[in-house]
């Protein structure tokens, strides 16, 4: 295969990482277990690391060895090969054991392990995708299984390939609701290519996990969620080999009863050792003891190669074959335009897939489902899991993923979205029902924080289209834009304002209303752009001209267009948005013009928790309708007249 590091490093005292007891293989039908010479080196190198969560690594050493050198089929020299079995370390703080295994495969150099958590090393404290063998970042507990579900769904239904997906979870982590959202998803979709290994080591960080070592309770829970659940001694290599070889018709949960700190006598099954490095003398003696247990038989293990049945996928240049076909005078809600655009994109690109959380006839992702039922994944009312499944579907560039729900419900998946950025994910999210303009359903259904939320994510692009044409362009641009994309859509029907041949770009605003003698620049988006246009007509009758700008993307914001136009209106800007004040369009504009002298930004936004009512009533009450804009324009003009 390829060169292995010749030189092995001696164990270093303060750093005992994980005690990979042995690397074993069941070669004969009688499951003879060979303990191989090379595990010595694995142990040694692993021991070099160790300042980080040694006891959490110790409980899964056998599990990891069996998975990576007995069960999984993959090409260790090519960790992202599409045919490879996938592995997700949901208990991401056990990263050192993952790195030790990849060193044992030869992919990582053993001396690189010494650089664990150093600023210039790829071996960060928790798994991140700058490591080729990591598909999704973990470390925020409870998220690995949802991503694993997305990968398994993709393997079974989209790729129709034989690769399998393995996910290792901690027992403390099993208190996260998102884990059980994923459990329900996996059984509903019969993901028989998915295996979860539950490391029941009894202890969490500051307390035992609630079910302690009651493995039968875990088994009943898993079975209740529709999984095949098997209890094993997680330190028995032979048992692990056996259960992992069984044929499957359901998702499989391996409930591995283990001991936290296994192999470190003073720390075994004891509280107070989570995340702690071992003292030097303790580490030395443990390492010595381990080395004594190695049976040298000069045998090297190589993982079996995968079946070559996941066809190559190209996600380059996902285009609409034709321009939008709206007519001026048409009225459409941007949420509906989203569904139409997505269905159209799917017509010409086989790898476009859509997810929704039981809101498809509100977000209009239903239009995609109607046309492409095999590429639609109903995620039901489990938004955290939906985002994780989306991330899983998008890894290794297998799919262009669009997931939709009400904008406001993404807030409960914010940790998953934050992790999507760390995972370098390219998922696209569409949030409908933004703002008070949804009307009667009331504040629980109104997205009023979503711009703040998505703007704060470093890899995010935030689209806020205002008509059917720009929505279709936003969908097409999202499909081709790296990082997270968020498309904010609205419920009310509004006029088509753009010509179908209008060109749109990320970070390029449109001046939608202008004369040679404008006094104020008004920036609105979605429904408030239409209110601004109505205000412009109204003010024209009073011989006050205003300029109206549609930012199209709130992030990145087109500062140049905003500044150039606002200069023409003597720095007078009014922003108006169907969002709370904090973190929305107004604040984005303020930070864009922060260096301009003589600029004055007046902001209109929703300042309190709103209520039910008709959309136009709520826009009026919360001060973001055409009248509020005309008043603000007059006020800005009179105060600047007074200032003279
Ligand atoms: C969402 C989240 N909450 C809290 C933490 C902090 N934390 C890291 S490890 C840990 C204990 C994990 O226990 P368990 O899942 O049993 O794993 P073990 O280390 O015992 O294998 C905690 C609370 C975290 N990383 N993520
Ligand atoms: C969605 O469909 C259901 C079932 O047909 C219907 O009862 C409901 O009113 C629809 N919702 C919307 C927002 O159209
Ligand atoms: C404002 O000026 C500072 C200092 O020159 C610069 O670093 C920053 O990028 C500018 N900000 C904007 C939004 O232009």
| pLDDT tens-digit readout, 210-236 | 999 999 999 999 999 999 999 999 999
244, 224, 227, 247: which is closest to 236 by C-alpha? 244
Which residue shows structure tokens 């087109």?
A: 558
Following DSSP, what letter does each residue of 308-368 receive, concatenated?
S-S-----S----SS-----TT-EEEHHHHHHHHHHHHHHH-TTEEEEESS-HHHHSTHHH
Q: Is the pLDDT of residue 299 over 70?
A: no
Closest ligand to residue 210's CA:
1
Q: Provide the sign of the torsion angle of the four alpha carbons 575, 578, 579, 581, taken in this order.
A: positive
Helices in 423-499 by DSSP H: which ranges?
450-455, 468-479
How long, in residues, is the chain? 644
Q: What is the pLDDT of residue 583?
A: 98
For ligand 1, atom 19, name the residue with the nearest CA: 56
Which residue shows structure tokens 């993959």?
A: 74
592 lines ligand 3 (CB under 6 A): yes
CB neighbours (10 Å) of residue 130? 12
173 lines ligand 1 (CB under 6 A): yes
State phi, psi for 245 to the nearest 5 degrees: -95, -5
- Which helix (H) or strand (E) covers residue 486, if one does? strand 485-488
Distance CA 353, CA 290 (A): 49
Q: Find the 415 Cα to ligand 1 centroid distance in Å.
A: 15
| Pocket residue to mutate for ligand 3, from 563, 592, 595, most atoms within 8 A of Cβ | 595
Q: What is the pLDDT of residue 113?
A: 87
Q: Which two tokens stand for residue 555?
A: 């992030």
- Kindly list the protein residues whose Cβ atom lies closer than 6 A to any atom of ligand 2: 361-362
Distance CA 173, CA 155 (A): 25
Confidence of residue 171 (pLDDT cuts 50, 70, 90): very high
193 in helix, strand or coil? coil
Assign 3-class secondary structure to 354-405.
EEECCCHHHHCCHHHHHHCHHHEEECCCCHHHHHHHHHHHHHHHCCEEEEEE
595 lines ligand 3 (CB under 6 A): yes
Catalytic residue positions? Answer: 383
| Percentage, residues of the chain above pLDDT 90 | 82
560 lines ligand 3 (CB under 6 A): no
Query: How far from 549 is each of 252, 434, 442, 558, 561, CA to CA, in Å?
Result: 54, 20, 29, 10, 9
| Pocket residue to mutate for ligand 2, from 335, 361, 405, 438, most atoms within 8 A of Cβ | 361
For ligand 2, atom 7, name the residue with the nearest CA: 361
Q: Is the pLDDT of residue 50 over 70?
A: no
Q: Is the pLDDT of residue 555 over 80?
A: yes
Distance CA 319, CA 118 (A): 42
382 lines ligand 1 (CB under 6 A): no
73, 233, 245: which is closest to 155 by C-alpha? 73
* 251-270 pLDDT tens trace: 999 999 999 999 899 999 99
Q: Find the 381 Cα to ligand 1 centroid distance in Å.
A: 26
Burial class (CB in 10 A: 0-12, 13-18, 19+), 138: buried
Q: Does residue 630 come out as left (phi exceeding 0), alpha (psi in the -120 to 50 range) or beta? A: alpha
Q: Is the pLDDT of residue 285 over 90?
A: no
State phi, psi for 282 to the nearest 5 degrees: -65, -45
Q: Global pTM?
A: 0.94
141 lines ligand 1 (CB under 6 A): yes
295 lines ligand 3 (CB under 6 A): no
Confidence of residue 42 (pLDDT cuts 50, 70, 90): low
175 lines ligand 1 (CB under 6 A): no
- Atom from ligand 1 closest to the CA of residue 59: 21
Distance CA 403, CA 405 (A): 7
Q: Find the 596 Cα to ligand 3 centroid distance in Å.
A: 10
Q: Which two tokens stand for residue 383?
A: 């938004």
């Amino acid at each position: 295969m390829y060169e292995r590091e010749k030189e092995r490093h001696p164990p270093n005292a303060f750093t005992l990482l994980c005690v990979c007891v042995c690397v074993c293989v069941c070669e004969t039908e009688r499951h003879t277990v060979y303990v191989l010479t090379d595990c010595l080196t694995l142990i040694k190198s692993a021991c070099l690391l160790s300042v980080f969560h040694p006891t959490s690594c110790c409980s899964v050493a056998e599990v990891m060895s069996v998975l990576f050198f007995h069960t999984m089929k993959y090409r260790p020299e090519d960790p992202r090969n599409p045919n490879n079995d996938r592995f997700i370390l949901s208990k991401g703080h056990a990263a050192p054991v993952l790195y030790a295994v990849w060193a044992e495969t030869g992919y990582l150099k053993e001396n690189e392990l010494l650089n664990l958590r150093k600023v210039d090393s790829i071996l960060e404290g928790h798994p991140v995708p700058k490591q080729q063998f990591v598909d999704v970042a973990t470390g925020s507990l409870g998220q690995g299984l949802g991503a694993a579900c997305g990968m398994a769904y993709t393997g079974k239904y989209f790729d129709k390939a034989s690769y399998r997906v393995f996910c290792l979870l901690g027992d403390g982590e099993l208190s996260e609701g998102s884990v059980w959202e994923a459990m329900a998803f996996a059984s509903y979709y019969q993901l028989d290519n998915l295996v979860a290994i539950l490391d029941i080591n009894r202890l969490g960080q500051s307390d035992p996990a609630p079910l302690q070592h009651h493995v039968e309770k875990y088994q009943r829970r898993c079975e209740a969620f529709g999984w095949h659940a098997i209890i094993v001694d997680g330190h028995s290599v032979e048992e692990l080999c056996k259960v992992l070889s069984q044929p499957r018709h359901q998702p499989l949960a391996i409930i591995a009863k283990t001991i936290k700190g296994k192999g470190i006598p003073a720390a075994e099954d004891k509280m107070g050792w989570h995340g702690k490095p071992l003292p030097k003398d303790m580490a030395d003696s443990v390492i010595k003891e381990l080395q004594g247990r190695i049976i040298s038989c000069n045998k090297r293990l190589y993982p079996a190669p995968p079946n070559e049945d996941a066809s190559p996928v190209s996600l380059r240049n996902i285009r609409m074959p034709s321009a939008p076909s709206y007519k001026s005078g048409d009225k459409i809600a941007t949420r509906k335009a989203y569904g139409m655009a997505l269905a159209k994109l799917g017509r010409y690109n086989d790898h476009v897939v859509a997810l929704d959380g039981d809101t498809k006839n509100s977000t209009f992702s239903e239009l995609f489902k109607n046309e492409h039922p095999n590429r639609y994944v109903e995620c039901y009312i489990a938004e955290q899991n939906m985002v994780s499944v989306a991330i899983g579907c998008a890894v290794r560039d297998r799919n262009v993923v669009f997931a939709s729900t009400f904008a406001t419900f993404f807030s409960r998946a914010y940790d998953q979205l934050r992790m999507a950025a760390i995972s370098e994910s390219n998922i696209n999210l569409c949030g409908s029902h933004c703002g008070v303009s949804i009307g009667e359903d009331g504040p629980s259904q109104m997205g009023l924080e979503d711009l703040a939320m998505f703007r704060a994510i470093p890899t995010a692009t935030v689209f806020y289209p205002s008509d059917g044409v720009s929505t279709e362009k936003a969908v097409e641009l999202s499909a081709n834009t790296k990082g997270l994309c968020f498309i904010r859509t609205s419920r009310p029907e509004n006029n088509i304002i753009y010509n179908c041949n209008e060109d749109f770009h990320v970070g390029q605003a449109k001046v939608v209303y202008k004369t040679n003698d404008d006094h104020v620049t008004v920036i609105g988006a979605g429904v408030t752009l239409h209110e601004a246009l109505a205000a412009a007509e109204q003010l024209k009758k009073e011989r006050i001209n205003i300029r109206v700008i549609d930012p199209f993307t709130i992030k990145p914001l087109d500062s140049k267009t905003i500044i150039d136009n606002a200069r023409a209106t003597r720095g007078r800007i009014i922003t108006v948005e169907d969002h709370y004040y904090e973190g929305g369009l107004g604040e984005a504009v303020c930070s864009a013009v922060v260096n301009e002298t003589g600029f004055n930004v007046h902001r209109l936004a929703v300042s309190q928790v709103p209520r039910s009512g008709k959309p136009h009533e709520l826009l009026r009450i919360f001060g973001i309708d055409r009248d509020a804009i005309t008043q603000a324009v007059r006020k800005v003009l009179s105060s600047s007249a007074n200032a003279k």
